[in-house]
Each structure stands twice: as structure tokens, then as C-alpha cells.
A = this chain, B = another copy of it.
């Protein structure tokens, strides 16, 4: 049984998260302030900590630093602000992952799983797209928690797209980055994208993650 500590001052959000986590099979307990969170974590350490950045008193960044000081627990930041500065600062402080509110519970769950699996010290974090997890170092892809067998080329293609998640990559760019071709038949990319979709998309004809941008290329999105 995995225990998760949720540090979040907004009662409604905290309770919603706790409920959602319990539903997913975690043991979840909450703290309304950084102080309380730190105390609980000292007394009964959880396996994961979820933390909001904007907290009364000691703020999220400081709290992360203190948690890190005496523990190696994976810390996931949940923040309303999707700001490069905050993300960087939180990761600097020692957080392991960063989610922007509103949080999709499925995604949260997948990230927690990914975090625990890799332990918190690895260099390349697993990437999560909705119910899709990609861990470059493990060479593994999972959908809804189940491993999916992809070939090497497909995996590289997926990693490349994941690395630039949310951005269009032209067939040309993909050819260069995945295959190392400076020139070549762009249709090759189509074929592999098609094969990848068969494996990672619930309905390959209506891709949700690996989408086509007609005339531009492909993009991986959440």
C-alpha cells in the first residue's frame, strides 16, 4: 500500500485530491500548512508528497527544501501557475515533478507510479501523457499502466516527440533526429507514426496524443 501526503491549504482541493487518490488505491492523508506537512512527514513518512506552492506561512519552495533535507521522498508539485520560473525554482528546490492545476487524476496517478518506479535520483524522468508513460532509460512504454511492446525505431520516434511535447515536429526534423537522415523519403515517418498509433492510441483512427498537423508534421500532446 502506497501512502501519499497532500500538502495544500485549500480544503476543497485537498479533500478532492485525497478522495481521488484513495479511489486510485492509495492511502492518502492531508496537511493544510507546510508546518503540519513537515511534522506529519517526520512522524509517519509517506511514500510520495504532493505539494502546492502557494501556502500560508512557510511557502512551497521552502517546504520542499526542508522535506528534502531529511528525506528522499519523491515530491510532486501541484501548482495553479504554469510559469517557467516557478517550475525551474521548484525543481531547483528539489521537487521531482510538476503538474499544473487542474490535475487529471489519471495523469497524477501515472506520474506517481512513474516516480516510484524510477526512484527519485535518475537523470531522465519518465514522461507522462495522460495515461501514457514513456521512460527513456527503462526503454519502456506503458498505456494505462500496462507495458506496450514498441520496436526500437518506434521508441526513438516516441521519445523524440515526447522530448518536444506540445510542439510540432516536421517530418524533416524527425527524419534527421530519429533516423539521422539529412534527406530522405518523408513518408517513412508517416508509416512509423501509423504503427506507433496502433500501439499507443486506444483508437488509432482518432489519435488523442500523437496528432497530425496537416502540412506541418506531428506532435505529441497530453
Contacts and interface: CB of A to CB of B under 8 A. Distances in A.
Contacts of A163: 119-120
B92 A170 contact: yes
Contact of A138 (B94, B137, B167): B167
A206 interface: no
A115 to B, nearest CB: 10
A140 B121 CA distance: 23
- Interface size of A as a range: 35 or more
Nearest to A182: B69
A12 interface: no
Interface in A158-210: 163-168, 170, 173, 176, 182
A146 interface: no
A79 to B, nearest CB: 15
B84 A152 contact: no
Interface of A: 68-69, 84-85, 87-88, 91-92, 94, 107, 110-111, 113-114, 117-125, 137-140, 151-152, 163-168, 170, 173, 176, 182, 213-217, 219
